Amino acid sequence: MSAEIIDGKLVAAYVRSKVKEEAAAFADRYGRAPGLAVIRVGDDPASAVYVRNKMKACDEVGFFSKTLHLPADSAEDEVIAAVEELNSVISIDAFLVQLPLPKGLNEKRILSYVKREKDADAFCSLDAGHLKLGGGNILPCTPAGIMELLSYYGIQVAGRECTVVGRSDIVGRPMAALLLAADATVTIAHSRTTDLPAVTRRADILVSAVGKAGLITADMVKPGAVVIDVGMNRNAEGKLCGDVDFAGVSEVASYITPVPGGVGPMTVAMLMRNTMNAALAASDE
């Protein structure tokens, strides 16, 4: 067997094209484009690249975008003041605080000030109980992107056995929550799971969100399973790779996401989707 490759670039382009259509209709109706802002604190080079990519995506779909760039030595209250400002500006429908923040700033406290309706990447909604499972307007981008991939490829989730490896607040837990909301039977594995292969082998849909190259090998995958690789690692040659042994697992799985080109491209596309949804919700008459 050779697995069908799930093409994240293709699905991300599809999501962006739908958002672009909706943004044009929104602008016609309300006389302004949907708006996304990013608060960036300090000069972390990786953050600069991520923010640039988000702004570029905004341009492509026809959003208004804005970056508030604060100096690295900003006081916590200054960052909170920027959050409060964006909470109240009407032209900004959603915004995010680019993480990580410089040392000394309390990320959790700062994020707690983001208005829930404008929380572009749903980070402040990740506290247990706040994530509106499945029915929410704004969902955590990476797990929501994975649900979109499954849907695009017509992969049934309801009633199936799903294993999520990893239990972080940003990926593993919300992923499990969305699968559960879609009526899957869900198992979460983590670093203290005693027999990982036994847990992964029962999955019809296996999501690995760990950050360890080569963790998931062919013998850990049920024949015909769908394998979603969230991991982003560097291999010995310095090349980007996921958690899954792609060559080996492709021989066993029915569908598989590559790294790069699988889950990664979906994250920014879903940020655009969240912003569009926030704009529509805010303008709902």
Residue from 16, 40, 160, 167 touching ligand NDP (CB under 6 A): that is 167
Catalytic: 121?
A: yes
CA distances, 35 to each of 89, 96, 103, 274 (Å)? 10, 12, 29, 11
Q: Which H or E run contains 20?
A: helix 8-30
The span from the CA of 38 to the CA of 227, in Å, is 32
Closest to 206 measured CA to CA, from 186, 192, 233 = 186
Residue from 168, 185, 217, 254 touching ligand NDP (CB under 6 A): that is 168
> Site residues for ligand NDP, window 264-283 (CB under 6 A)?
264, 267
Q: How many CB atoms sit inside 10 A of residue 45's CB? A: 7
Residue 41 makes contact with ligand NDP by CB under 6 A: no
The span from the CA of 149 to the CA of 105, in Å, is 35
CB of 188 vs ligand NDP, minimal distance in Å: 8
Closer to ligand NDP by CB, 42 or 231: give it: 231
Radius of gyration of the chain, Cα coordinates, nearest whole angstrom? 19
> Site residues for ligand NDP, window 204-223 (CB under 6 A)?
209-212
Catalytic: 54?
A: yes
Tokens representing 228 are 């979603």
Residue from 140, 143, 231, 258 touching ligand NDP (CB under 6 A): that is 231
> Site residues for ligand NDP, window 126-155 (CB under 6 A)?
142
Of 7, 93, 98, 204, catalytic = 98
From 97-105, 121-129, 154-162, 225-233, span contacting ligand NDP (CB under 6 A):
225-233
Tokens representing 33 are 């484009």
Edge to edge, the sheet with strand 226-229 lists 4-5, 255-256, 226-229, 205-208, 161-165, 185-189
> Site residues for ligand NDP, window 232-251 (CB under 6 A)?
232-233
Q: Which residues bind ligand NDP (CB under 6 A)?
A: 142, 165-168, 170-172, 189-193, 196, 209-212, 230-233, 263-264, 267
